[in-house]
Structure 1
Amino acid sequence: MESERQMGRPFPRAVYQALTPSVRTVSLTETQRSDAAHEALIHPLSENSLTEVEESDAHTPNVQVDEKATREPRARRWNYLRSWWPEILCLGVVAAALLAISFTLSTHQNRPLPEWPYKVSVNSVVAVYVVVLKGAMLLIITEGLGQMKWTWYRRSRPLEELARFDSASRGPWGAIQLIWALQARHLIASVGAILIVVALAVDPVSQLLIRYHNCSIKLPAARSQASIPRRNTFSEMGLHIGAGLSTLTFEFQTAINAGLFNPVSVDISFACPTGNCTFDLYHTMAYCSKCTDLSSSLSTSWGLIRTEDETIQNGSSFYDVSYPVYGSTTSLPDGFLTTAEEEGLVEYLKFNATDRDYGITMIAANLTNLQQFGNCTTAAENKTWSCHGSGAAGCTLYPCIRSYTATVNESKLQETLVSTSAEFGFDDSKIPSSNSVNVACLTPETRQDLINVGYSITDTTEWIAYYGSGVLGNTTAVPSVFNASVPNITVPAECQYLIYEPTRMSLDYYMASFLNGSVTVNPDRNYDYNTNGPVQINRFCNLGRMSIDSVSAIFSNISDSMTAYIRQSNSSDGHTLLNDDQAAPAPGHVWQTETCIEVRWGYLAFPIALVLLTMIFLVAVIMETSHHQEADAWKSSALALLFHGLDPRTRDLQGAGMESMKEMETAAKGMRVRLRRGEGGLVFVNTN
């Protein structure tokens, strides 16, 4: 239709039309219009009359066309696109604000609250970015809605909808009214109105992005340090009492007794300023224990135990007599045995200590008649030797290297024993000692040198029995053990762990007397116990409640207490033969409880979706209006409504005398208008 084609032609801006009386000249013949066209200028225009006027104008000669109408469509659209630069710039601001939010959150995720000036928080910074994002986004949407009202009136529409478009660009309530009025008849405008309403949720949703929680932060070593004691060597000695023998110091004896009688008191001192620390794998010279159940190797026999000599008196005469004592003998294959008399004493518990590694064998035999502490009906009772009638165990205390990790939580230490090693080699070339080397501590060159002289080292080897000199500092290997033609090798002192051999021998001597003796009981005398030896052996007796588990636990407690003493002993107290330069405590990591930021990234999807929809909305608005350029990019301009409002005749006929809002709203409900080109340019023409 010719009238539709007429809509596609360009027209001047409002201000240009207001200041220019006419942009074209009309010939005399043009003034001779048809009656119908003349009537249309006087009365409200109908659709038919408007069409006739357009057709009359189309065939009127001598019409001078504005220079703007002759521009190429591509240049015209480019100029039109330039009028949207504020909205395009705002779109960049929206994207930048979204990136700023993401960057701020990612750089502080799972980190403590920053200490910024003026107590500015991450949440407040994000809130500022959200305000910028929301403001720029709403500017784009409101200007787009403002432009949509001009394209909406390409056809005849109720005049009141013009007010709804204007209200929608001013706030959520107007947007809701526009959504209800349009009923999705204008998709782009409906989407814009929905975005304005949904944008209300941007602020509360943004508050959900950040959640605060307590977390542990590792402090730098320069700020705070943690430590736990450990040692590479042990060479403590007391008073000299013989060739290669010395007494144990009183402190070491106390530590052994503490492990036997009061294992709960065995504590390790540590340094942890905040009360929360962690310690990576560390090694220390120590003592370990192992117990083996020998009960199955026991054998019992009946026969003559001993001969009892006695002097008796008959009147004034005295006679020496002997009589046999019969009973049972319970023994181990190595000949160590206990006896139980048929009438009289029973060797309830007997110890025998060897002179090396404190191999102590204990036997409790012939206890069938001593079940006074239970009926052997529970699992715990069934494990006791008294329920079995006999029992034996072989236990050993030996030097070892313990590897630990540790944590300190709320100032409570929890050590975890990772592994133990008893790979020791003996060297007496200078200072006799039992030595071990941590392979992981060695450099690749030293490791290869040790392999070359005959040490067996593989990828899985952790410790090797080292046959080098026991001198601390940089110690030199003794290659003659394997290959005398190989030059000497220097092994760093921090990689060596050793115990001084005289210290070990003194401990042997002490333990031989510490756990050597027996406990007897006389059933005929109400189970009267008698200890033949040191009082410490009564701890194992435990009034008959003995088992392999209880014995193993006691030896484990003793070794733990000895290890704690070794780790915390002072090498400068005058009792240490070798000055251990490698006794530095194991360093740890100090953790401090802070309030940290947890980013809940899922909530960021909401503003991202709004930004994408706003971008699509702006592109749709520009494309929609660039193809239908009845009006320029007037958007929400109030000047456009002033210069291109109702045509004068419609305003004079239907708007005269109306001053109240109610009158104007009533008139707008009954009036349908359309944006058309009239004598003064584009105006809203009554189409009723």
Structure 2
Amino acid sequence: MHQSDHYATRLDAAKSGALWTEEPVPSDEQPVDVRSRPSILGWWWELLSLAFSIGCLISIVAILFTYQDRPQTDWHGGFLSITGTIAIFSTAANLTTGLAIGACLSQYKWLHFRKSPHKLTDLDLIEEAGRGPLGSLILLVKQPFGLATIGAVVVMLSAMFDVFVQQTVTFEPRDVASNNGTARLGLAHVYDSGATPGALGTFHARPSMLDLSMLGAVFRGMFNLGSPAVFDCPTSKCEWNGTYYSLGFASTCADVTEATLRLHPNASAVWNGTASKLSDQVHRILTTPGGVRLAAPVIPTQMQTFVSVNATNLMSNNAISGKMPMPPDIVRIGVFRAQVDSVNFEVFPENMTIFECDISLAAYRYSNLVSSGQNLTIGKHELIRLDPGVLSADGQKPSGSKHVTFSQSGLPLLSVSASDIAGLQLLFTSTRFSGRMYEGLGPTYYPEPQGTGDAFRSGDVAQTMRAMVDSMTDQLRATYNVTAVGASIHSVVFIEVDWAWITLPLAVQIITVAFMIIIIIKSVRTPGLPLWKSSTVAALTYDVRFREDEDDVGRLGTGIRSTKELEALAESWTARLELPERK
């Protein structure tokens, strides 16, 4: 009897209601081997799905490995972002993994009943476990057993598959340096405003040629009015990581009150009004140890001096080019300050302070500079005192122009115009800077210039001087006669990968492969068991019969022996659902 005739016989038996038989229907020519084992080829769809799922996970890993620690702009995925692309691969991998797991669990239920008797509710438990996390959870809670437990765990872990994959990618803005030459730091190795010397010597300035920008810097610093920009940064942040040198100014201040009073043993008598002559009280002059003359007249009950500022030059106007070393000191400034007695207008030594401050040329060493917006932060700021320099004529300047050159080991060559030094000396010794401030009737009797006395009425004299020289240094650097090129910092979003999150998807894949291999091997080694998997039609062909000698254990069986018979049966039969009548 041919195979087709055998199927016809089986279908006739099915139509007559004899789906379950003890023995297979015989075949004359090609008998059907009911003990034959299903081929692994019956799993081709599940194997293809699992291979596709593994390929998707490999693609995810390849993308992450390729773009790890790279700018987000390096991704060229068209309208899809890197996270969108990974999400697509993740969803595809999860769905196809679920297909394979579901098929394996469905096939396992037949293996489960083939091995030993079980309650029929296990059919539903195992089948529902392959359809989603809820069914798997119910299986684990109600009746965890055998390989179905492994499958249920994989199904539940698969619910977090996409979440874990998406957590592997994060985006972090990082600072990226661009050395395109647009970040500039102002430095100065030369101070030469173009001023020409006056007629009275090397360090004599023509008032009409004074450097107004430097004069303005003096007052800006003393009155805390800000400084010019000494850097140019095209972005919100720039860095200069080298070591840079610049010419500048420095101040050194000391409290010389006691030393000055020792030079004037009768000072107490003069200030408290017991001096023999009124003229001694009015024209009182104090000379500091450094030679600065400070006028501080006092007339008890009428007026007193509470601030007096004066300066003296430190560079010789008679210096000869190349004949003598030129110290970097420019001027020495004296500051007298006393507490105001608005009742008796008396000044006592214990209520006065006298300072001497030397203003000099200096060099500065800067390193680790960072700009943020309009602010410049200097990581290391070191003052370098200059050794004496050399005065020489400048052949490229008009006749009589000279400059002081400082050639010091470890520093670049620094040069300062003698005319600009003279201009600063003229400023500090003039009434624009030096002067006195009186309390009482003094302004009426002695209408003298106050100079910069307001800057010293209160506060720290040394701090005021430091602010002044810092402003002068910044003004010098703002000329950009030497430029240090730094790096412009751009905020770039980078792709970061946290590989720890990939462990769960990887574990799901590995367990799925192992679970599927076990199910395939058990199915192949079970004779006569077709690959029904989750076939509903196959389940309809089974019925349960009981024997008295089997202790109420039913026999679950069918007369359909292969998937081909099942397919033929499904194609040839038609059915209609009938519901029991209500009583």
Q: Does 1:610 align with 2:492?
A: no
Q: Distance in 1 between the 2:48 and 2:355 partners? A: 90
SS in 1 for 2:486: strand
Residue in structure 1 matched with residue 416 of structure 2 by the alignment = 500
Aligned residues of 2:370 and 2:377 also touching (Cα < 8 A)? yes
Q: Distance in 2 between the 1:195 and 1:17 partners? A: 44
Q: One-letter code of the match for 1:194?
A: V
Give per-residue Cα distances to partners, 1:566-601, cap 9 Å, x unaligned. 22337xxxxxxxxx6xx3453331314x56556565
Aligned residues of 1:358 and 1:511 also touching (Cα < 8 A)? no
Residue in structure 2 matched with residue 139 of structure 1 by the alignment = 99
Q: Does 1:266 align with 2:227?
A: yes
Residue from 534, 555, 580 that aligns with 1:673: 555
Q: Distance in 1 between the 2:267 and 2:8 partners? A: 145
> Which 5+ residue runs of structure 1 have no aligned equivalent?
1-14, 23-41, 54-63, 70-75, 308-321, 374-384, 438-462, 466-495, 571-579, 655-669, 684-688
SS in 2 for 1:229: strand
Deviation (angstroms), 1:134: 0.5
Residue in structure 2 matched with residue 630 of structure 1 by the alignment = 527
Q: Distance in 1 between the 2:246 and 2:252 partners? A: 21
Equivalence map 1:113-192=2 (5 Å):
116=76, 118-154=78-114, 155-159=116-120, 161-162=122-123, 164-172=125-133, 174-176=135-137, 178-179=139-140, 183-185=143-145, 187-192=146-151
Q: One-letter code of the match for 1:129?
A: F
Q: Distance in 1 between the 2:5 and 2:423 partners? A: 114
Q: One-letter code of the match for 1:144?
A: C
Q: Distance in 2 between the 1:500 and 1:673 partners? A: 112
Q: One-letter code of the match for 2:426?
A: Y
Q: Distance in 2 between the 1:401 and 1:87 partners? A: 75
CA 329–422 in structure 1, closer or farther in 2 if over 3 Å, else same: closer
SS in 1 for 2:410: strand
Residue in structure 2 matched with residue 244 of structure 1 by the alignment = 202
Q: Distance in 2 between the 1:283 and 1:552 partners? A: 26
Deviation (angstroms), 1:416: 2.1
Q: Distance in 2 between the 1:553 and 1:640 partners? A: 97
Q: Distance in 2 between the 1:529 and 1:538 partners? A: 18
Give per-residue Cα distances to partners, 1:341-362, cap 9 Å, x unaligned. 5757755424232324234241
Q: Does 1:538 align with 2:432?
A: no
Q: Distance in 1 between the 2:149 and 2:469 partners? A: 81
Equivalence map 1:209-288=2 (5 Å):
209-211=168-170, 215-218=173-176, 220-221=178-179, 225-242=182-199, 243-245=201-203, 246-247=205-206, 249-260=210-221, 262-268=223-229, 270-281=231-242, 283-288=244-249
Q: Distance in 2 between the 1:43 and 1:614 partners? A: 35
Give per-residue Cα distances to partners, 1:401-453, cap 9 Å, x unaligned. 341544443x323332622333457356885543457xxxxxxxxxxxxxxxx
Residue in structure 1 matched with residue 488 of structure 2 by the alignment = 589
Q: Distance in 2 between the 1:21 and 1:346 partners? A: 136
Residue from 286, 289, 292 that aligns with 2:250: 289
Q: One-letter code of the match for 1:672?
A: G
Residue in structure 2 matched with residue 393 of structure 1 by the alignment = 356
Tell me the number of residue pairs that the alignment of Structure 1 and Structure 2 aligns. 500
Q: Does 1:360 align with 2:332?
A: yes
Aligned residues of 1:522 and 1:528 also touching (Cα < 8 A)? no
Deviation (angstroms), 1:124: 0.5
Q: Distance in 2 between the 1:252 and 1:180 partners? A: 86
CA 615–372 in structure 1, closer or farther in 2 if over 3 Å, else same: farther
Q: Does 1:349 align with 2:312?
A: no
Residue in structure 1 matched with residue 28 of structure 2 by the alignment = none
Q: One-letter code of the match for 1:519?
A: R
Deviation (angstroms), 1:153: 1.8
CA 278–674 in structure 1, closer or farther in 2 if over 3 Å, else same: same
Aligned residues of 2:365 and 2:381 also touching (Cα < 8 A)? yes
Residue in structure 2 matched with residue 419 of structure 1 by the alignment = 381
Q: Distance in 2 between the 1:634 and 1:680 partners? A: 10
What TM-score do you get using the length of structure 1 for normalisation?
0.59
> Which 5+ residue runs of structure 2 have no aligned equivalent?
11-17, 24-30, 271-276, 316-328, 395-402, 547-551, 566-583
Give per-residue Cα distances to partners, 1:441-492, cap 9 Å, x unaligned. xxxxxxxxxxxxxxxxxxxxxx625xxxxxxxxxxxxxxxxxxxxxxxxxxx
Q: Distance in 2 between the 1:84 and 1:267 partners? A: 79
CA 258–621 in structure 1, closer or farther in 2 if over 3 Å, else same: farther
Q: Does 1:521 align with 2:438?
A: yes
CA 166–325 in structure 1, closer or farther in 2 if over 3 Å, else same: closer
Q: Does 1:201 align with 2:149?
A: no
Q: Distance in 2 between the 1:269 and 1:304 partners? A: 47
Q: Distance in 1 between the 2:234 and 2:414 partners? A: 32
Residue from 457, 461, 466 that aligns with 1:556: 466
Deviation (angstroms), 1:191: 2.1
Residue in structure 1 matched with residue 425 of structure 2 by the alignment = 509
Q: Distance in 2 between the 1:636 and 1:17 partners? A: 27
Deviation (angstroms), 1:192: 0.8
Q: One-letter code of the match for 2:506?
A: I
Residue in structure 1 matched with residue 573 of structure 2 by the alignment = none
Aligned residues of 1:97 and 1:129 also touching (Cα < 8 A)? yes
SS in 2 for 1:263: coil
Q: Distance in 1 between the 2:462 and 2:170 partners? A: 51
Deviation (angstroms), 1:113: 5.4
What TM-score do you get using the length of structure 2 for normalisation?
0.67
Identical amino acids, percent of aligned pairs: 13
CA 395–103 in structure 1, closer or farther in 2 if over 3 Å, else same: farther
Answer with 329-338 or 136-145: which moved more: 329-338
Q: Distance in 2 between the 1:294 and 1:302 partners? A: 18
Residue from 426, 431, 434 that aligns with 2:405: 434
Give per-residue Cα distances to partners, 1:529-575, cap 9 Å, x unaligned. 95756x53324443xx2x5x2x22332232233223322337xxxxx
Q: Distance in 2 between the 1:622 and 1:396 partners? A: 93
SS in 1 for 2:469: helix
Give per-residue Cα distances to partners, 1:249-306, cap 9 Å, x unaligned. 4433443344245533412064433434334345352323223222454435553999
Q: One-letter code of the match for 1:288?
A: F
Residue in structure 2 matched with residue 565 of structure 1 by the alignment = 475
